[in-house]
Amino acid sequence: MASLKTAVSYSRRLLTAITHQVTRTLMLFTSGGASTCPDCRSSNLQTSSSAAAGAEKGEDSFLKWFLLLIPATTFGLGTWQVKRRQWKLQLINELHKLTAAAPIPLPLDPHELKTLEYRRVRVRGRYDHSKELYILPRSPVDPEREAREAGRLSSSGERGANVVTPFHCTDLGITILVNRGYVPRQKISPETRMKGQVEGEVDVVGVVRLTEIRKPFVPNNDVERNRWHYRDLEAMSNLTGAEPIFIDADFASTIPGGPIGGQTRVTLRNEHMQYIITWYGLCAATSYMWFAKFIKRI
């Protein structure tokens, strides 16, 4: 019994000593590792400073290379716009070649016609002025002015309509649709331009055009009021009884007193040079800022 009491007493003293040691260790830990030893405190401060400096250096290195993505990205976008501009200029050149090539007879194969947009063709026949259609509002085609005004929200110049007239091809035995050209607003009514309402057979050279899909913000065609805003060959042919074949008469087909031909727009929107200047300018500015902050400072 005495030995049991001695063992219990010894266990209590040992437990008390362990408790005091754990408490002291926790106090040292919560005080930031402070030590009564001056050399120990100095060593701890040096270690903390080194760790902080290393962390800061790592953050600067990450930020340095991350920000370099900005000039690299803008340089890539500028280079892409250079290639886009070359592609657009080549496309415009090809369209001009098609509209200036020697005319060919109008083929009757619908599949062949789909591959001939902007190709010049020649037909002979007579107009049916009683079924004129009006695509409006339109302004007369001026390639040089359109190139200057490309990208603007509004453009200058008068407004009128393009006159589309059924044309019976006597050599082919079919009726097609011919965009005779532009008339100002006050000349839309046929009674105001009777001299241009030619009778009899004529030769017409024109550019093949395909049907259009209505673009956003373009109004729907008003068939009942004969106000067309885009080429819908199916609806136009159903209304006039013509085949869904459409050509823009060239300028040489213009008849005095009638609509002005040559209203095919082949000037595509080309703003790539502005984008090139913008992206390369941003690349130069951000590259200098990156150099000043991370290289010049060192």
pLDDT tens digits along 131-152: 999 999 999 986 555 444 444 4
Q: How confident is the model at residue 1 (pLDDT cuts 50, 70, 90)?
A: very low
Q: What are φ and ψ of residue 90, in 5° steps? A: -65, -40
Q: How confident is the model at residue 189 (pLDDT cuts 50, 70, 90)?
A: very high
CA 163, CA 167: separation in Å to the nearest integer?
12
pTM value? Answer: 0.63
CA 224, CA 204: separation in Å to the nearest integer?
29
pLDDT tens digits along 259-285: 999 999 876 667 788 889 999 999 999
CA 266, CA 139: separation in Å to the nearest integer?
14
- The answer to whether residue 181 scores a pLDDT higher than 80 is yes
Quick one: pLDDT at residue 59?
A: 55
Instruction: Tell me the domain boundaries of the chain.
Output: 62-101+271-298, 119-265
Q: Are 205 and 249 in contact (CB under 8 A)?
A: yes
Q: Are 163 and 183 in contact (CB under 8 A)?
A: yes
**Sequential DSSP letters for 120-176:** EEEEEEEE-GGG-EEEEEE----HHHHHHHTT-SS--S--EEEEEEEEEETTTTEEE
